[in-house]
């Protein structure tokens, strides 16, 4: 599994990159657009070797910053259920806190026995913060 952030389609080189992703040996290439501009779309990408059982794209709260989102996929790895989340959180602490709070409701809510893998640019320099504990 691979998670990419700040993937955009601004010019031909970017669009060629997105097309090439489809040729890699992944069963699923999931693009979650978070920002749309006149010249390009921006977002996160999740690459999975096995097709997911469920996929959800969500918008994260953002009062003052750029739009943020997450890709959530449920899959099975080595016979075990796994929820994978790819995201790119805001650089501001208050926004990040709200975004992590929103993500926590998706982490294992409907699959309490599953493992959860959170990947992405969390923009967190102090990982001992309370919202990273217990999950």
Closest CA to 92 of 65, 127, 129, 121: 65
Count of the separate structural domains present in the chain = 1
Token pair listed for 13: 């080189």
pLDDT of residue 129: 65
Q: Which residues are within 8 A (CB) of 9 and not within 5 positions of it... i.e. 6 or more apart?
A: 15, 18, 40, 41
pLDDT of residue 132: 61
pLDDT of residue 118: 94
**pTM, entire model:** 0.86
* Whole-number Cα distances in Å, 15 to 18, 77, 107, 118: 5, 31, 32, 27
pLDDT of residue 128: 67
Average pLDDT over residues 27-48: 87
Name residue 44's beta-bridge partners: 32
- pLDDT, one tens digit per residue, over 101-110 is 999 988 877 7
- pLDDT, one tens digit per residue, over 54-101 is 999 999 999 888 899 999 999 988 888 999 999 999 999 889 989 999
Model confidence band, residue 18 (pLDDT cutoffs 50, 70, 90): confident
Instruction: Evaluate if residue 5 carries a pLDDT over 80.
Output: yes
Distance CA 59, CA 57 (A): 7
CATH code of the domain in which 113 resides? 3.60.10.10
Q: Which residues form the domain of 43?
A: 2-132
Collapsed DSSP state (helix, strand, coil) of residue 134? coil
């Amino acid at each position: 599994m691979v998670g990419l952030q700040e993937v955009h389609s601004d010019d031909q080189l970017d669009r060629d990159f997105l097309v090439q992703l489809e040729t890699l040996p992944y069963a699923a290439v999931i693009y979650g657009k978070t920002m749309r501009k006149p010249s390009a779309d921006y977002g996160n990408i999740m690459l999975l070797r096995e097709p997911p059982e469920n996929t959800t794209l969500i918008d994260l709260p953002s009062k003052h910053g750029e739009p943020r989102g997450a890709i959530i996929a449920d899959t099975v790895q080595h016979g075990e259920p796994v929820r994978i989340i790819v995201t790119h959180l805001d650089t501001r602490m208050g926004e990040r806190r709200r975004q992590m709070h929103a993500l926590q409701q998706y982490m294992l809510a409907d699959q309490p026995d599953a493992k959860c893998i959170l990947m992405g640019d969390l923009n967190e320099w102090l990982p001992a913060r309370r919202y990273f504990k217990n999950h």
